Structure formats: C-alpha cells, structure tokens
C-alpha cells in the first residue's frame, strides 16, 4: 500500500459558477478527503486559482490530477512539492481581555508573532496574524490561556517558489 501524505494541489480554473462543485465532487467520488480549499481570483480576472490540501497516496493523487485535467473548466493542475512551496494562512483571533494586564500580554504576543491588533472593545481584542499554519497554531496555543472567544481561519494557500509556475 502506498504511503499517505499531504498533497498541495494548485488548479487554475475558469472563474465561473459550478466549477468548485465539480472539482469537489471529483475528490468525493475518489474518496479523497479535502482538508482545506482556498479559491481566489488569479493574475487573469477570468480565472481563479484553487489551492487544495488533501491527504492520500501517490496513486490516487495521480488519478485525481488526470481527471481534474479532463474537466472542461480546469486550465492547469500542479501538485506542489512542499519543499519548493510558500504556504501562508490568515487567522483572526478574538480574545477575552477585560483587564489592562491581559491586554498588554496579548499585544506583546501579537507583536512577537508579527500580528496586529485590528479591533478593540471594552471586553475583547482581535488579533490578525498571517504565516505558516505552524506559526498560527503556536500563537493560538499561547493565547488559549486568556480565553479565546472566536477564531476565523482562511486555511493555507500556496504558491511555488522562484520561477516555477
């Protein structure tokens, strides 16, 4: 049996209704679980770039890549190698921080992780952080002790390093 590993698939697709559903359906039919998917406009406004993170073996990935390429709205598909990929995520964390001491500590942690305070209320602070999923997890763990009220994460998106396209 082939080894299961995390795959980062980048797909350039036509930016129109129904494309996401067809791509997700392909994964579902193959029993390949999508752990995360991000979609956004690409360098061409008529196209969108999908970044799909999924677990599976090489054989199933190869089948999915071939079938994705057969979908009429899919322009290009690549399996991005983790070592030659830049991966980033955005996370918003709302923390219960009614006291000045707590606010000061939360701000210090945010600064250490190059995060920003984007909202302040009498009872809460909201931190914005971008970075690798590991960096975001590390900040979340540090802030848990203060009482996290809410977390919103985009999930990772990725692009190949250097001149690769």
Q: What is the C-alpha to C-alpha distance for residues 56 and 130, in angstroms, rounded to an integer?
A: 27
Whether residue 48 is predicted with pLDDT greater than 70 in this model: the reply is: yes
Q: What integer is the mean pLDDT of 31-44?
A: 88
Q: What integer is the mean pLDDT of 86-108?
A: 96
- The CATH classification number of 86-160 equals 3.30.70.1150
Answer whether 39's CB lies under 8 Å from 53's CB: no
DSSP assignment of 34-103 equals EEEEEEEE-SSTTEEEEEEEEEE-HHHHHHHHHHHHHSTTEEEEEEE-GGGEEEEEEEEEEEE--SHHHH
Q: Where in the chain is the domain with CATH 3.30.70.1150?
A: 86-160
Q: Note the pLDDT tens digit of each residue in 108-150.
A: 999 999 999 999 999 999 999 999 999 999 999 999 999 999 9
Model pLDDT, residue 165: 61
Identify the residue with better confidence: 156 or 127.
127
pTM of the model: 0.79
Model pLDDT, residue 75: 94
Model pLDDT, residue 160: 86
Q: What is the sign, positive or negative, of the torsion defined by CA atoms of 82, 164, 71, 21?
A: positive
Q: Where in the chain is the domain with CATH 3.30.70.260?
A: 5-80
- In CATH, the architecture of 5-80 is 2-Layer Sandwich (3.30)
Confidence of residue 55 (pLDDT cuts 50, 70, 90): confident
């Amino acid at each position: 049996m082939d080894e299961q590993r995390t795959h980062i698939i980048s797909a350039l697709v036509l930016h129109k209704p129904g494309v996401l559903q067809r791509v997700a359906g392909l994964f579902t039919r193959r029993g390949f679980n999508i752990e995360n998917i991000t979609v956004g406009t690409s360098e061409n406004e008529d196209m969108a770039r999908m970044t799909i993170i999924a677990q599976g073996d090489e054989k199933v990935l190869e089948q999915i890549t071939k079938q994705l390429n057969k979908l009429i709205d899919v322009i290009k598909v690549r399996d991005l190698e983790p070592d030659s990929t830049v991966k980033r995520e955005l996370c918003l964390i709302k923390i219960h921080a009614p006291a000045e001491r707590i606010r000061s500590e939360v701000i210090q942690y945010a600064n250490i992780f190059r995060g920003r305070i984007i909202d302040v209320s009498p009872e809460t602070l909201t931190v914005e952080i971008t970075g690798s999923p590991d960096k975001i997890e590390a900040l979340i763990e540090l802030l848990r002790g203060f009482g996290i009220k809410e977390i919103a994460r985009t999930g990772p998106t990725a692009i190949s390093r250097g001149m690769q396209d």
